[in-house]
């Protein structure tokens, strides 16, 4: 069986690398992705930056941009592609999750 993976688009990886190069995130740091109960559709994406992974995290690396995912969240996020969009109104990470059967209009919650 293939190992579960998370993918970063080039724009998302560039955003993480930029934060590291600006010193806002240490070289050991990365983007933490997790799943929490709640939201319109049952589960919510939790996204923040961490200084380093925890011992149980699965770490994905994209030419210097790292993503940390805990084992329980990886069940719901395996195969997900994370993109980054920036416009006049907002800057945010955007998720394309193949495990989501239903989502809300804001894109921040889903049902597996």
Over residues 73-86, mean pLDDT: 94
Q: Is the pLDDT of residue 88 over 60?
A: yes
Does 42 map to a domain?
yes
State the Cα–Cα distance between residues 86 and 97, nearest whole angstrom: 20
Does 109 map to a domain?
no
Domain holding 57, by residue range, is: 7-100
Q: Is the pLDDT of residue 23 over 80?
A: yes
Does 75 map to a domain?
yes
Domain tally, the chain: 1
Does 110 map to a domain?
no
Q: Is the pLDDT of residue 107 over 60?
A: no
Kindly report the number of other CB atoms within 10 A of residue 86's CB atom. 10
pLDDT of residue 45: 87
Does 41 map to a domain?
yes
Does 111 map to a domain?
no
Does 107 map to a domain?
no
Q: How many CA atoms lie within 13 A of 77 on its CB side?
A: 29
Does 29 map to a domain?
yes
CATH of the domain at 57: 2.60.300.12
- Residue 12's φ and ψ, nearest 5 degrees, are -65, -45
pLDDT of residue 77: 94
């Amino acid at each position: 069986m293939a190992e579960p993976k998370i993918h970063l688009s080039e724009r998302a990886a560039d955003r993480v690398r930029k934060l590291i190069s600006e010193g806002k995130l240490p070289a050991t740091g990365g983007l933490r992705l997790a799943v929490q109960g709640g939201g319109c559709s049952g589960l919510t994406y939790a996204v923040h930056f961490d200084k380093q992974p925890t011992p149980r995290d699965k770490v994905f690396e994209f030419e210097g941009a790292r993503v940390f995912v805990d084992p329980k969240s990886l069940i719901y996020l395996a195969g997900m592609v994370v993109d980054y969009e920036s416009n006049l109104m907002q800057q945010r990470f955007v998720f394309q999750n193949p495990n989501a059967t239903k989502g809300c209009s804001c894109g921040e919650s889903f049902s597996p």
